[in-house]
Amino acid sequence: MARMPKPIETPVPSRAELIDHLVRTRIAGQVATPRENNLSHYRKLANGDRHYWLGLELGDRWTDEQDVLAVMAERVGVVDDPAFRVGQDTIDPELTVAGLDRMAARLRKAALDRQSVLFATGHPGGLLDVHRATAAALRAAGCEIVVIPSGLVADEGSVWQFADVAVLERGATLWHTHSPEPMAAILDGLAASNRPQPGLVVADHGWAGCAAQRGLDAVGYADCNDPALFLGEAEGTLQVAVPLDDHVRDPRFYDPMVAYLLAAAGLLEE
């Protein structure tokens, strides 16, 4: 695998340094998402509200919100006490770093195999540059970064690619969306153009869920109020779900996390 310059100018933190940074910036630890919001989303997913399924087909396997809470406590680190209803919830930073390590292993495989990789985000205000930097590193390692077909539309908006990352645009604004429809438009557009499906999808929200549900290798990021991707990982549909607050105060706070991820994947110079 080729070596290349760092796509970001950020020192690579040690595991302990990264954990401290995640807690200090509230990417993990005591995050901004309140407990009542988390429980409301778990309940709506269990009640069959597909907005919260993020493109996955969960059937009748997760109809008990306590089962959803149990998975979220195990894989994300939210408080496992069902009697805790109001207050601040948590993401275990150790689980965040463990997820980054799992994602790094999949990125390393993509680089070694020179796979085609598609990047997409429903959280452009927080995660756009996380995906952009990862795409730059994989391209430098010899991967093809998938160029999406032109003219795609979904959810009354346009599906564009900005800095190698697919996004939903409406009215000259990049939109925050949980919908799987933009990813469906991309994958259907590739098929209609007789182009192959991506070897790997790196995304979040419904973009990741849709790709995984269609049988593609998919990894992604998810917040503690977005349980579907963690259920998908638990069932083996999604390969990796990394728990984090997906929109902290300053998107630069994610830079040390990205440096750690790319170093763990072997995508940075020593």
CA distance 48 to 62: 9
Would you say 109 and 117 are in contact if contact means Cβ atoms under 8 Å apart? no
By CB atoms closer than 10 A (0-12, 13-18, 19+), residue 164 is buried
CA distance 164 to 131: 8
User: How confident is the model at residue 9, as a pLDDT?
Assistant: 75
Bridge partners, 220 (sequence order): 203, 241
Does the structure show a pLDDT above 60 at 5? no
Does the structure show a pLDDT above 90 at 97? yes
pTM, 2 dp: 0.95
Q: Is 204 helix (H, G, I), strand (E, B) or coil?
A: strand
Compute φ and ψ for 27, nearest 5 degrees.
-70, -30
Half-sphere exposure of 178 (CA within 13 A, CB side): 16
CA distance 177 to 197: 22
Kindly report, residue by residue over 230-268, the tens digit of the pLDDT. 999 999 999 999 999 999 999 999 999 999 999 999 999
Kindly report, residue by residue over 143-178, the tens digit of the pLDDT. 999 999 999 999 999 999 999 999 999 999 999 999
Greater confidence, 234 or 270? 234
Would you say 187 and 197 are in contact if contact means Cβ atoms under 8 Å apart? yes
User: How confident is the model at residue 252, as a pLDDT?
Assistant: 97
